[in-house]
């Protein structure tokens, strides 16, 4: 039996585009005499559809698309994911389903059993879990069809009381097919392969796995669809961060040994590719072409500009230099060197006149109090006003340039440098931003060396450095990682050898600045615990604050 895996970049709610892509891949498979072509979880709707699922019209359009796709399944079968209605009076109104299409119709539906309800996932909000198990008979073979999380209860900390494959294996299937929507983070590829390997080894069956590719706002899908033999060895792996389509012979898979995989991305390389894809897809799917950002001469805006140039083309990234009385000369020079290296358009807009106007307007009301954070933030907000005005005038999307370290401790100005339509590096710690800069320069100096090596500064007061307000990023980022990603409490972090006073101060900064993060643009997710939809914290809370 010949099986094709179709790894496609879908667009949530774009039924015409998703349907047409699926049909075109079915036709491609037909020409290659494929028996079965497999698409990913919730392919027809796109993933995650979220509260669109509360609209009956949305779900009906998904089902209509499935029927139209089925019309093309003559002489070939297909598996495609979509939401379907639950006909029972009790329970959630929908199922997360895999439709088996054959002979011009929807032959059967398989529903997802294990519904993740953690981090970015909230499937139990919408879907009823499956409670019946049946293999699919096709071309003399029995298929154990599963949907993403259905294979994940083999880890050392099982979250569910049932394992779908334990039920299906009693019916003596010949292979496992898993359709998935597994979002990227820089640890996920390794974890995902280990989970799939455990399944193939445990059930001694070949395993066909197909994942999404592309970005859906902040969620990034890296692809990496694959086929394993019954020993849990990877026979073939589809591309990462690209659409792909490959055909396999089931009998050959069962007898093929482990393959040496051609692509082995470093962590930094995969983060870079993920962020480039995230920016590109955000613009493409919203129908925008041009970005704008404030280029400060610092490493964060430089890396953001470089990623945007790769994603959108240098000519579509408008850099605005906004120097003030506190800006150093090399900040402007370094920025000009960067835009020259990339051939990006730019302008220099001095903020001194606008800042003076604000100062003079507020002087009677500031009651002769000394210069402090109010004036510092006023500069950032002056820049924010200018950038948003240009964004509105020309229809550009403003890219936010804050990193995760800054966002975590509130080292940013609301309605100033925290403005934007998309936060590009908001899930990358400062130390990771430096690594990204080095990666960008791997084939030659695109980001000027001085931007990478000079001490970070907001340049909002004379001789200001980030280290005046924050510990060194090498220390700060480790403490933040242990608290945010690893969810360790202060006593556990202190026991690792970190200063008690410093740990308590940093954790307090994280928790008391939650209100700022509620007002930030969507952040491209690259970690296991990103700010945004996967991290839900109360603002008015006392814990560690």
Which range marks the domain in which residue 108 is found? 2-262
| Assigned token pair, 423 | 């936060």
CATH number of the domain within which 241 lies: 3.60.110.10
The answer to whether 403 and 425 have CB atoms below 8 angstroms apart is yes
Lowest mean pLDDT among 92-96, 454-458, 530-534: 454-458
User: What pLDDT shows up at residue 325?
Assistant: 80
Average pLDDT over residues 485-510: 97
Determine which of 86-100, 178-192, 406-420, 454-468 has the lowest per-residue pLDDT on average.
454-468
| 208: confidence class by pLDDT, cuts 50, 70, 90 | very high
Q: Is residue 484 part of a domain?
A: no
- Residue 433 pLDDT > 70, yes or no? yes
Residue 421 lies in a domain: yes
- Residue 265 gets the label, from left (phi > 0), alpha (psi -120 to 50) or beta, of beta
Q: What is the model's pLDDT at position 258?
A: 66
Co-location of 122 and 224 in the same domain: yes
The candidate with the shortest Cα–Cα distance to 405, out of 438, 428, 374, is 428
DSSP-based three-state secondary structure for 377: helix
What is the per-residue pLDDT for 259? Answer: 65
Closest CA to 306 of 116, 406, 437: 437
Question: Of 262, 281, 312, which residue constitutes the final position of a domain?
Answer: 262
253 and 287 co-located in one domain? no
Give pLDDT, residue 133.
98
The verdict on 8 and 123 lying in the same domain is yes
Give the pLDDT score at 254: 78
Is cis: bond before 524, omega within 30 of 0? no
The secondary structure of 484-521, three-state, reads: HCCCCCHHHHHHCCCCHHHHHHHHHHHHHCHHHHCCCC
Q: For residue 309, what is the DSSP state?
A: H
- Count how many domains the chain has: 2
- Residue 470 is predicted with a pLDDT of 85
d(CA 104, CA 125): 33
- Domain assignment present for residue 417? The answer is yes
CB 402 within 8 A of CB 408: no
| Mean pLDDT of the 429-450 span | 97
- Whether 463 has a pLDDT exceeding 80, the answer reads no
Confidence check: pLDDT of 386 > 70: yes
Is 16 part of a structural domain of the chain? yes
* Mean pLDDT computed over every residue of the chain: 95
Res 458 pLDDT > 70: no
Q: Are residue 275 and residue 398 in the same domain, yes or no?
A: yes
Asked if residue 306 belongs to a domain, the reply is yes
Q: What is the mean pLDDT of residues 517-530?
A: 97
φ, ψ of residue 373 in degrees (nearest 5): -60, -25
At 34-63, the pLDDT tens digits run 999 999 999 999 999 999 999 999 999 999
253 plus 301 within the same structural domain: no
Find the helix or strand (DSSP H, E) in which 423 lies: strand 422-423
Q: What CATH number does residue 398 fall under?
A: 3.40.50.620
Residue 423 has pLDDT above 60, yes or no: yes
Same-domain pairing of 235 and 213:
yes
Looking at the DSSP bridge assignments, the partners of residue 216 are: 219
240 in a structural domain: yes
Residue 44: how many other CB atoms lie within 10 Å? 25
Please write the tens of the pLDDT for every residue from 317-326: 999 999 988 7
| Alpha carbon distance 225, 209 (integer Å) | 5
Residues 298 and 235 in one domain: no
Least Cα distance to 209 among 274, 147, 139, 138 occurs for 147
∠ CA 344-349-350, rounded to 5°: 140
* Domain membership flag for residue 97: yes
Q: Per-residue pLDDT for 377 more than 60?
A: yes
Asked whether residue 188 falls in the same domain as residue 306, the answer is: no
What values do phi and psi take at 451, rounded to 5? -65, -35
Q: Note whether 171 and 102 are same-domain residues.
A: yes
Q: Which residues are catalytic?
A: 41, 112, 148
- Cross-strand bridge partners of residue 245: 6
Residue 175: the pLDDT is 98
What confidence score (pLDDT) does residue 225 get?
98
172-186, 379-393, 448-462: least confident range: 448-462
Residue given tokens 């615990």 in the structure block: 529
pLDDT in tens, 238-271: 999 999 999 999 999 977 776 655 566 899 999 9
Is 83 a domain residue? yes
Give residue 156's pLDDT: 81
Tell whether 299 and 233 lie within a shared domain.
Answer: no
Classify each residue of 514-542 as buried b or exposed e, where b means 16 or more C-beta atoms within 10 Å of its C-beta.
bebbeebbbbbbbbbbbbbbbeeeeeeee
Residue 303 has a CB neighbour count (10 Å cut-off) of 28
Distance from C-alpha of 198 to C-alpha of 235, rounded to nearest angstrom: 15
Helix (H) or strand (E) holding 317: strand 317-321
- Are 124 and 117 spatial neighbours (Cβ–Cβ below 8 Å)? yes
- Give the model confidence (pLDDT) of 356-373 as tens digits: 999 999 999 999 999 999
Q: Pick the last residue of a domain from 436, 466, 496.
A: 466
Is there a single domain that holds both residue 175 and residue 294?
no
Picking from 466, 487, 516, the residue at the C-terminal end of a domain is: 466
Query: How far is the C-alpha of 441 from the C-alpha of 84, rounded, in Å?
Result: 48
Q: Same domain for 310 and 173?
A: no
């Amino acid at each position: 039996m010949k099986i094709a895996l179709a790894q496609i970049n879908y667009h949530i709610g774009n039924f015409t585009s998703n349907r047409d892509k699926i049909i075109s891949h079915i036709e491609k498979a037909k020409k290659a005499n494929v028996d079965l072509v497999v698409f990913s979880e919730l392919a027809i709707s796109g993933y995650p559809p979220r509260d669109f699922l509360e609209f009956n019209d949305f779900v009906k359009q998904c089902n209509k698309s499935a029927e139209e796709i089925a019309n093309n399944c003559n002489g070939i079968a297909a598996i495609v994911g979509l939401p379907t209605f639950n006909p029972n009076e009790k329970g959630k109104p929908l199922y997360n389903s895999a439709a088996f299409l054959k002979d011009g119709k929807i032959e059967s539906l398989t529903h997802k059993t294990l519904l993740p309800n953690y981090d970015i996932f909230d499937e139990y909000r919408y879907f009823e879990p499956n409670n019946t198990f049946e293999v699919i008979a096709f071309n003399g073979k029995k298929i154990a069809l599963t949907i993403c999380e259905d294979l994940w209860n083999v880890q050392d900390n099982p979250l569910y009381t049932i394992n779908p494959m334990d039920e299906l294996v009693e019916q003596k299937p010949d292979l496992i097919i898993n359709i998935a929507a597994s979002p990227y983070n820089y640890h996920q590829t390794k974890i995902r392969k280990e989970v799939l390997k455990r399944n193939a080894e445990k059930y001694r069956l070949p395993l066909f796995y197909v994942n999404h590719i592309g970005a859906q706002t902040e969620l990034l899908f890296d692809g990496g669809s694959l086929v394993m033999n019954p020993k849990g060895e990877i026979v073939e792996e589809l591309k990462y961060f690209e659409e792909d389509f490959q055909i396999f012979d089931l009998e050959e898979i069962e007898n093929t040994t482990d393959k040496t995989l051609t692509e082995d991305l470093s962590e930094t390389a995969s983060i870079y590719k993920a962020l480039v894809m995230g920016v590109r897809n955000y613009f493409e799917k919203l129908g925008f072409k041009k970005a704008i950002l404030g280029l400060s001469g610092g490493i964060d805006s430089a890396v953001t500009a470089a990623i945007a140039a790769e994603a959108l083309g240098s000519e579509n990234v408008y850099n605005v230099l906004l120097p003030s009385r506190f800006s150093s000369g090399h900040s402007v020079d370094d920025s000009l060197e960067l835009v020259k290296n990339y051939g990006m358009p730019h302008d220099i807009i001095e903020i001194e006149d606008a800042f003076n106007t604000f100062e003079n307007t507020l002087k009677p009301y500031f009651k002769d109090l000394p210069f402090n954070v109010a004036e510092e933030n006023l500069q950032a907000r002056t820049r924010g006003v200018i950038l948003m005005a240009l964004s509105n005038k020309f229809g550009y999307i403003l890219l936010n340039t804050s990193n995760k370290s800054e966002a975590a401790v509130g080292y940013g100005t609301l309605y100033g440098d925290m403005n934007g339509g998309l936060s590009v590096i908001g899930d990358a710690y400062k130390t990771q931003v430096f690594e990204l800069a080095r990666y960008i320069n791997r084939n030659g100096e695109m980001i000027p060396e001085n931007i990478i090596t000079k001490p970070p500064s907001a340049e909002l007061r004379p001789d200001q450095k980030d280290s005046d307000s924050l510990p060194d990023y090498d220390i700060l980022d480790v403490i933040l990682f242990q608290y945010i990603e690893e969810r360790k409490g202060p006593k556990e972090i202190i026991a690792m050898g970190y200063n008690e006073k410093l740990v308590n101060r940093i954790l307090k900064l994280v928790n008391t600045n939650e209100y700022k993060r509620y007002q930030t643009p969507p952040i491209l997710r690259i970690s296991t615990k990103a700010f945004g939809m996967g991290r839900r914290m109360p603002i008015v809370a006392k814990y560690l604050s």
